Chain A
Amino acid sequence: DQQVKQNSPSLSVQEGRISILNCDYTNSMFDYFLWYKKYPAEGPTFLISISSIKDKNEDGRFTVFLNKSAKHLSLHIVPSQPGDSAVYFCAASAFQGAQKLVFGQGTRLTINP
C-alpha cells in the first residue's frame, strides 16, 4: 500500500516563477513530514520538514504547507532557480522510536531558463 503519494511524476516551471510540489498521505499516524532533494548519481539531501503541530514552515525560498484534514502537504519554491532542477521526494514518519521514513515516488522538477 502506498501510504505517501506524489501524483505528479514531473513538473516544468519557468525560472523566477513559483514551483509547487504536492504530496498526499493516508496514514493518520504520521506526525512529521520531510522533503528531500535528489540530484542524479547522488543520495537524497534533506531540504525542509514540518511537524504535524504546525501548518507552515519556511526556510528561505522554500515553504512547506501541511493540511492535516486533507492529509496533504505541498512544497513551494519561490523564485525557482535552474539549480532547483532535481527530483523531490516527500517523506513521512510516525514517531515509533525508530524514525522510520516512508517516501513518495518523487517528482522531477525542471526549471527552464
Chain B
Amino acid sequence: EAGVAQSPRYKIIEKRQSVAFWCNPISGHATLYWYQQILGQGPKLLIQFQNNGVVDDSQLPKDRFSAERLKGVDSTLKIQPAKLEDSAVYLCASSLDPAGYNEQFFGPGTRLTVL
C-alpha cells in the first residue's frame, strides 16, 4: 500500500513570496490533515478535511494560509505572503474513517525555509 505522498520535500523562499505544498493521501482515506511542525516543537494541526469539506481550521492563519481538497483526494496548502516565522516542516496525514479513533498516517513532510 502506497503511503502519503508530499511534494516538494524542500523549499526555500524569501519573505513575502508565495509557496504551495501538495499532498496525496492514502487511497480511500476520507480524512486529511495538514500540520505545521516548528523546530523543537510537536506537530500542530492547521486544518482537517473530511472528504472535500473542512472539519476544523481553527488554528489556520487565514490571512495568509489557505488549503483546499478538490474532489476529496489530493490537497494543496498555500502560504501567501510568507513570513520568517512560517519556516517549519509541513506534514500531511490521512486516516481511513473520521468516526472513532483511526490511525493517522503521515507523509515525509515539506521543509520550508523562509529567508
Contact = CB atoms under 8 A, between A and B. Distances in A.
Contact of B95 (A42, A44, A99): A99
Q: Which 7 A-B pairs have the closest CB atoms?
A: A43-B106, A103-B42, A46-B103, A98-B55, A44-B106, A103-B43, A43-B107
B102 interface: yes
Interface residues of B, number: 25
A67 interface: no
Task: Bin the interface of chain A by size.
Answer: 20 to 34
Contact of B98 (A45, A97, A104): A97
Given A101-B45, A106-B41, 6 more contacts: A32-B101, A46-B105, A91-B42, A98-B55, A103-B44, A105-B42
Interface of A: 4, 6, 9, 32, 36, 41-46, 49, 51, 89, 91, 93, 95, 97-106
Interface of B is mostly: loop
B40 A105 contact: yes
B52 interface: no
18 contacts: A9-B40, A32-B101, A36-B106, A43-B106, A43-B109, A44-B91, A44-B106, A46-B103, A46-B105, A49-B101, A91-B42, A97-B98, A99-B31, A100-B56, A101-B43, A103-B43, A105-B42, A106-B40
Nearest to A89: B42
B93 interface: yes
A101 B55 contact: no
Contacts of B102: 99
A104 B41 CA distance: 7
A99 B94 CA distance: 11
Contacts of A102: 45
